Structure 1
Amino acid sequence: MYQVKRIAQSTHVPIRTLQYHVQVWGEPAAGKTPLVLVHGWMDVAASYQFVVDALSADHYVIAPDWRGFGRTQAGDVDHFVFADYLADLDFLLDHFAPNQPVNLVGHSMGGNVVMAYAGVRPERIRRLVNLEGFGMPATVAAQAPTRYARWIDELKALHLGQRELRSYDSLDGVAQRLMKTNPRLSRDKAEWLASHWSSRNAQGRWEILGHAAHKITSANLYRVDEALALYRNITAPVLNLIASDNSMELFWKGSYGLQEFQERMKAVPQLETEHIENAGHMLHHDQPERVAAVMERFIA
């Protein structure tokens, strides 16, 4: 199994109505800017371990499990709202870095969160790194009736037990699933991730540490004009890291592409873009040394 170089301290902190699980590497110190890493959809904070191990300097690193992921409970809910991630992050920064801006990194869904948050609280961010946080296809008001209907139908399916996440008969089965999703992921890393990405239930099967309600379609349409307004309000320099494999075509099947995303990013006042070669969407797993080096250079 993968040999960890930097050991994370595990803690729980009160964030709104939840006890948030947070991984912390290093110690706070005068003159040391906190490095906050937020994960993507159906992922966990421990996913950043490989990048943390590849950092050359001694950083104070904070990585939460989002609500309903990892070891942060979901609360008494049957769906999740994007705005809650922004509020959770704000409360988290109040706890760990109340009097200083942070270097903020987000992957995938987490990249979308940090881009929006930086437009809402620009004064809280010193440097921002977006790892493949592309946003979503544009929507129009006419889609609202069918979107609400789909949301309600999916809620009903959840309550009927029809949207449960798949479980696995062994930890190796979870590792195999991770390697199938990402062929670049080595077995040692997959086995290590599997032990943090899942847990054994009362029946002896391994369950993914993600609430099934995360798979429910959002009731709200994605408004590009709103996203651009947030981007324009970002005052921190932004580093946009894009993997060499174009995941956009796989995700959105032609309804939204890399060129459109790059056009949207022109709204960001201070933007730097860099490509990570020989990497897919999980670029922090595929090329952790390269991601760490580019990130450290940017926040130095």
Structure 2
Amino acid sequence: MKSYRIIFHLPMQNALAWDTIESEPAVFTNILQRLGVKDTEVIELHTLDDLHPNSLPGVQQVHGVIFLFKYIATPSHATPSPSDDSHGLYFANQTVHNACATQALVNLLLNSRESVDIGPLLGEFYEMTSALDPISRGDALAQHEAIRTIHNSFSPYFPIRSQLSAARPSSGADAFHYVTYFHAKGAIWELDGLQQTPIRHTDCEASGWQTALSLVLAQRIEMISAMDNGGIGFSLLAVIPDRVKVLHQSILADDSTEAVYRPEIEQIGSARDEDTRECIRRKHNYLPTLGALLRAMAASGDLQTLVDQHNCG
């Protein structure tokens, strides 16, 4: 009988590196909670129509939208010019790989301090960096141990995939990027950590900014799709007030709405429970279990049988 020695080589981790995280709304909501942000969550928008006010149950306000898209070098004439009138906006450049997801979230939150309780961690970070230039702010974020640790805690645990990815050439891999859209100073603003300054889009009132944003995003998506030969690799995540709290407040204001809103509250709660379980599964290290299973199969002879069947096939 052949003997098998099961060995897993774990890659060395750079203590200062930022890992790739998945663009799941539950991941972003959990990051918010770990950062100490209060009564705020992230949901996925499946269509641009979802941006329109009151189109989704419990969504009465949108703090901002995070746009994930397949990164393609854009001709300068197709990109809005950075704005010189962005004084008063918080903007940090992206100065490290893989940080753009949390970068987009932090850029949005630090511009939403009047409407969002960002908590002590981000509050202290804002006080520490508000007087710095965008590049220095980006460096400060990249080197912030607590924020980086929270970000990396949501990286899927799969060192085998990490090794394979590192061994393969990356020239053919698609790159994805996150940018933030929000309303301030009578206009829609785009914060892209790869640009020098914030980008000002269309002027609009706060009451109609979500509808105006849907038009801005439609144009952006059309441009990206055309440059990608019709590809549609993008995702929209909305940062909003906690829907359960909003619906409870609606019931308190008018108890006749309870029959309508109570099922929505229960549905959201069930979805959150499943999201929590999925986040745990995503981060769990299954390698010890897999190793034990393979060793048991080798001891029983089942592993050799599978190998022989594979070789015969």
TM bracket (short chain): under 0.3
Flag the structure with higher helix content.
2
TM-score by length of 2: 0.26
Question: Which structure carries more relative contact order (alpha carbon 8 Å, separation 6+)?
Answer: 2
Is the radius of gyration larger for structure 1 or structure 2?
Answer: 2
After TM superposition, the score normalised by the length of structure 1 is 0.26
More strand by percentage: 1
